[in-house]
């Protein structure tokens, strides 16, 4: 029975690695997947998903205008689709999350979405908000703060260890701009007691 899954976490919890492992599991059994990632993440020269441990896979790009249900329906008419995997799913729109529920309910294809739950201000991303509301299964992928507690928050910093308290929700970057921390150290950072740990 097809279901909509949302695998969420703070940064550096292995979301892309988990997605790539799931895709490989389908591939190994001779099954076909469609893999999407957001075109907002333009750090790579070609459309692909890359993990920090070196694994990668080609991917289709989506943006806020991509009609996911229609694209996946067309793909299914051409050849069976066994699973759809979506990286950076926090960037999905409300309508796109709704269309992914239709991929599950009408096309009977499982959909696995991977993304951040909240931004550097502790606010939900739109895609994450509706995935949390409408997914059949929610799976938290865990990472740790430097103190050993579970990291649930993300700090954006300016490269000289000063945390941002305001700004645009989306600014693409990696370890050069973001660090995952526990709630206690997130609060301390916003109160100007932040010391970046490596």
Residue 89 annotated as binding site:
yes
Residue 185 annotated as binding site:
yes
Residue 133 annotated as binding site:
no
Distances (CA, A) of 135 to 37, 68, 181, 185: 18, 16, 26, 30
**Coil/strand/helix, residue 140:** strand
Question: For 142, which DSSP code?
Answer: P
Residue 147 annotated as binding site:
yes
Exposure string (b/e) for 114-142, b if CB count within 10 Å is 16 or more? bbbbbbbeeebbbbbbbbeeebeeeeeee
Looking only at Cα atoms, what is the longest distance across the chain?
56
88 noted as active-site residue: yes
Residue 13 annotated as binding site:
yes
Task: Point out the catalytic residue in the list 28, 88, 161, 166.
Answer: 88
Distances (CA, A) of 8 to 12, 21, 117, 191: 11, 16, 6, 27
Distance (Å, rounded) from C-alpha 91 to C-alpha 22?
Answer: 21
Residue 79 annotated as binding site:
no
Residue 22 annotated as binding site:
no
Residue 167 annotated as binding site:
no
Residue 108 annotated as binding site:
no
Residue 64 annotated as binding site:
no
**Coil/strand/helix, residue 8:** strand
- Binding-site residues for ATP, in ranges, read 9-16, 87-90
- Binding-site residues for substrate, in ranges, read 170-173, 178
Q: Which residues are catalytic?
A: 88
- Binding-site residues, in ranges, read 9-16, 87-90, 145, 147, 170-173, 178, 182, 185
- Binding-site residues for Zn(2+), in ranges, read 145, 147, 182, 185
């Amino acid at each position: 029975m097809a279901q909509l899954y949302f695998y969420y976490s703070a940064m550096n919890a292995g979301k892309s690695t988990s997605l790539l492992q799931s895709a490989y599991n389908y591939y190994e059994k001779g099954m076909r997947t469609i893999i999407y990632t957001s075109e907002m993440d333009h750090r790579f020269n070609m459309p692909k998903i890359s993990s920090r441990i070196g694994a990668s896979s080609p991917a289709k790009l989506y943006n806020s205008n991509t009609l996911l249900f229609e694209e996946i329906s067309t793909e299914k008419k051409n050849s069976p689709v066994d699973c759809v995997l979506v990286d950076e799913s926090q960037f999905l729109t409300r309508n796109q999350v709704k269309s992914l529920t239709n991929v599950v309910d009408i096309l009977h294809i499982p959909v696995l979405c991977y993304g951040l739950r909240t931004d550097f201000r502790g606010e939900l991303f739109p895609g994450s908000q509706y995935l949390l509301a409408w997914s059949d299964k929610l799976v938290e992928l865990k990472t740790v703060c430097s103190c050993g507690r579970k990291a649930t928050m993300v700090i954006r910093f300016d490269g000289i260890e000063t945390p941002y308290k305001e700004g645009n929700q989306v600014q693409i970057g990696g370890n050069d701009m973001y660090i995952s921390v526990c709630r206690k150290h997130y609060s301390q950072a916003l109160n100007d007691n932040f010391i970046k740990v490596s």
